[in-house]
């Protein structure tokens, strides 16, 4: 287990370095492979010794070697998330959820920055996750989890679609498309994870709205990107659905 966790963390460092590029280039419609990594402000390619995930940051002191512009430091966060996923999940399920964790970080950052969830990331994730979850179900011999993932994806996509059609100003179709992905990965785990992830996004969004109002940083009409709350709630559900479900049953006297 320790070897798997360390390997996942190292992979997270590498993936996180790539996500830096994805977050900057995908919203602008730029290719993510070519040209090589460069500073978006001053342009020169980042030197190889500066491009080592996390460890290149002290050399640069967190800044571009050319112009001093700050870069988002997502490598360490991705490494921590990957390590926690390796601790939480069985090895057959891990590839699908590592992929989900990576796109979740990218989509949350892009939505915070640009107020949109790019189709270039969301749409290809459907077939990728279908393949990875199917492989996991086959390895485990657990086809019901895969069926539950399909039902969860359809259900959450449908619910968000109804909300978007009923109140277009409050929810975008990017959120609807993302909901299908969340429903699939959470449904694969359990119905409890699906329910907590589905409702948790609205709860976190409401809490953030109250904080914004209380801090005087916005009004009732201030639009907050909803994607990060959806992804945060999904991660909470992945790690804590079972204890939260038990706590709810005890609270209601059903346990």
The pLDDT score that the predictor gives to residue 62 is 47
Alpha-carbon distance 107 to 105, whole Å? 6
Query: With 80 as the cut, is the pLDDT of residue 40 above it?
Result: no
pLDDT of residue 57: 52
* Predicted confidence (pLDDT) per residue in 226-252, tens digit: 999 999 999 999 999 888 877 766 776
CA distance 58 to 56: 6
| Model pLDDT for residues 167-190, shown as the tens digit of each residue | 887 788 999 999 999 999 999 999
pLDDT given for residue 210 in this prediction:
84
The 10 Å Cβ neighbour count of residue 42 is 12
Region for residue 93 given its phi and psi (left: phi exceeds 0; alpha: psi -120 to 50; beta: otherwise): alpha
pLDDT tens sequence across 42-67: 555 555 445 555 555 554 444 554 44
pLDDT, tens digit (0-9, with 9 covering 90-100), for 75-88: 899 999 999 999 99
- In the chain, what are the domain boundaries? 1-88, 120-255
pLDDT at residue 124 greater than cutoff 60: yes
The reported pLDDT for the residue numbered 59 is 47
How far is it, in rounded angstroms, from Cα 235 to Cα 225?
Answer: 17
* Residue 123, pLDDT above cutoff 90: yes
User: Would the CA dihedral through 115, 118, 122, 123 be positive or negative?
Assistant: positive
Show the 3-state SS of 155-187. HHHHHHHHHHHHCCCCCCHHHHHHHHHHHHHHH
Mean pLDDT, rounded, of the chain: 84
Higher pLDDT, 106 or 172: 106
Lowest mean pLDDT among 23-32, 198-207, 213-222: 213-222
């Amino acid at each position: 287990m320790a070897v798997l966790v360390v390997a996942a963390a190292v992979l997270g460092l590498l993936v996180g370095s790539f996500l830096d590029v994805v977050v900057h280039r995908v919203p602008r419609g730029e290719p993510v492979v070519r040209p090589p990594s460069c500073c978006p402000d001053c342009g020169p390619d980042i030197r190889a010794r500066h491009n080592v995930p996390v460890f290149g940051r002290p050399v640069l002191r967190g800044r571009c070697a050319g112009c001093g512009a700050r870069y988002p430091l997502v490598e360490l966060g991705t490494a921590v998330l990957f390590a926690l996923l390796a601790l939480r999940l069985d090895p057959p399920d891990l590839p699908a959820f590592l992929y989900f964790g990576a796109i979740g970080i990218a989509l949350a950052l892009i939505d915070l920055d640009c107020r949109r969830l790019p189709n270039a990331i969301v749409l290809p994730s459907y077939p990728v996750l279908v393949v990875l979850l199917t492989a996991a179900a086959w390895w485990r011999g657990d086809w019901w989890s895969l069926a539950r993932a399909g039902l969860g994806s359809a259900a959450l996509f449908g619910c968000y679609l109804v909300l978007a059609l009923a109140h277009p100003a409050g929810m975008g179709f990017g959120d609807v498309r993302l909901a299908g992905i969340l429903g699939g990965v959470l449904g694969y785990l359990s119905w409890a994870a699906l329910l907590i992830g589905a409702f948790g996004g609205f709860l976190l969004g409401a809490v953030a709205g109250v904080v914004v109002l209380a801090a005087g940083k916005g009004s009732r009409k201030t639009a907050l990107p909803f994607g990060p709350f959806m992804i945060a709630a999904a991660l909470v559900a992945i790690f804590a659905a079972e204890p939260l479900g038990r706590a709810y049953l005890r609270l209601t006297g059903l346990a």
